[in-house]
Amino acid sequence: MSERAPGEVVDAVTSAFEAAFEAAPTGVWSAPGRVNLIGEHTDYNGGLCLPIALPHRTYAAVSRRDDDVLRMASAQQDGVVEVALDDISPERPGGWGSYVAGVLWALRRDGLPVGGLDVLVDSTVPLGAGLSSSAALECAVAAAASDLFDLDLLGTADGRARLAARCVEAENEIAGAPTGGMDQSASLLCDEAAALLLDCRSGETRQVPFDLDAAGYVLLVTDTRAEHALVDGQYAARRDACEAAARDLGVDTLREIDPSGLDAALEQLGSDEVRRRVRHVVTEIERVTQAVAALEAGDLGEVGRLFDASHASLRDDYEVSCDELDVATATARSQGALGARMTGGGFGGSCIAIVRAPEADAVADAIAAAFDEAGFTAPASFTVTASGPAHRDA
């Protein structure tokens, strides 16, 4: 993970753009990664989730072109990727460029007057850590396109939500990752010192105060460095199981299952595995509601308890945790964390823990020692604050 200051990254991405395209960019835009406090695998089930935007961002130096060609380069990759906008498909351009190209494809399909761009990207969002580096990339490019083509979508919550929806389509249909809408909504809509309560059925959002500093706590993120990929079929299999269960239960999404009717619903399902998947989703949506109430009441102890319950459900019912995530969360709890849970899609990635500010380094050291004893790759731990959404930087 890079510790570069925002101004330093803006200067670097500008210089890299000039080297790649032999001209200065029109501007630089950035969008944050996200940590989801609670509400995992609920977004594609019409549920609730509660992400915050990270201070770690993806930066895009961008200029408008006079044709319908997209040229892309990255500080993390060699070479320039080029594709005509009319040729964008799940096969072209492929790789990381699909996340960029998909945004322009989705905006054009929405009837918006978008043309070609030159794009150079750089990022301080840890890749493969489950912190939504892909959505940060999409949303930085979407913000640039909005400004450069005078779409005027950044000035209102509705406009930003429209951009988020196009970025979801880009990831689903061009990049081939069947994610829900939480990541892009967080990247475009989160406020500083707040978590975003996102209703994935109605699209409604609400800012929930989230300022651990005032209570003497911090949010410790641990990138387990375990392999993390959402396009290997495991994520899609969970989503397919939920959608099939909803059909069997005669509802549009699992959001329609009230917690009071969960047991009766589970009895109608044909396999233990599907029952576990449904139980996680229904109880996790309820945990989001409870976490919001606890945050608004200033009850961090209850938030921590909900973190622990969420992780257990993701581990046992949804089966998306891994040994590294389980060791990290258990170690954080043993060191006095109020609660700890995996965050993101799972199968690797990161976990979060609420810890007393003076104890953050000690907890991180204990997690590193536990990883060393288990023979795991050394993790990377860092504290984060709730930060702001996508915007123009220069």
Active site residues: 183
Contacts of 130 (CB under 8 A, 6+ apart): 223, 228, 342, 343, 344, 345, 346, 348, 349, 350
Contacts of 360 (CB under 8 A, 6+ apart): 218, 220, 383
**Distances, alpha carbon 331 to alpha carbons 135, 227, 274, 279, in Å:** 30, 20, 30, 26
Left (φ > 0), alpha (ψ -120 to 50) or beta: where does 278 sit? alpha
Contacts of 256 (CB under 8 A, 6+ apart): 46, 246, 249
Nearest to 41 by CA among 390, 293, 287: 287
CA 180 centroid distance within chain: 10
Tokens 């949804």 belong to which residue? Answer: 318
Going across the sheet that includes 194-199, the strands are: 48-49, 194-199, 205-209
Phi, psi of 132 (to 5 degrees): 65, 50
**Distances, alpha carbon 70 to alpha carbons 16, 77, 81, in Å:** 17, 17, 8
* Distance from C-alpha of 72 to C-alpha of 82, rounded to nearest angstrom: 6
